[in-house]
Amino acid sequence: GGGGGGGGGGEEEFVVRPQCLVSHVGFRPDYELARELQVHLCYASEGPMKLASSLLAARVAAERGGDASAAGDCLSQAPPGRDLLTTPEPRFHVLGAKSYGRASSFLLAIGHKQVQGVVALLAEALLPKLSK
């Protein structure tokens, strides 16, 4: 009994039993926590404005460069710089999937880089004050 592939070309059926499943589709960011804070959000993506603007500019540049497929290729993107993760609210940063809003190009590897960048940013800002 085949799995819908037709013609018995030596294909073997197998069952995948994952220990963990991460679902990252179809969600909108929930900003209830930040409702009273100064966070400038993009009206189109619902991501923080600086990062949303940068992502849009990169997509438009790829499209204008004649490579429309690269515009939607999340694997070719570079992690955002630390300055793109800041908000008008002091020491409040939006990271991870929420930082991309409704954009579907977020990768967990990007989220890890975001966290590393913000931890370094906070260390630079706070550690000199702690040593005084």
Q: Residue 30: its pLDDT value, please?
A: 83
Q: Which alpha helices (DSSP H) does 16-107 contain, by range?
A: 49-64, 68-71
Q: What is the mean pLDDT of residues 87-97?
A: 91
pLDDT at residue 110 is higher than 60: yes
pTM of model > 0.85: no
Dump pLDDT digits (tens) for 7-36.
556 788 888 888 887 766 657 788 888 889
pLDDT at residue 48 is higher than 80: yes
Q: Residue 1: its pLDDT value, please?
A: 43
Bigger pLDDT: 97 or 2? Answer: 97
DSSP the chain: --SS--S-SSPPP-----S-----SS-----GGGTTS---B-TTT-SBHHHHHHHHHHHHHHHHTT-HHHHT-GGGPPPPPGGGGB-SSTT-B--GGGGGTT-S---HHHHHHHHHHHHHHHHHHHHHHHT-
CA atoms of 48 and 45, how far apart (whole Å):
9
Q: Residue 38: its pLDDT value, please?
A: 92
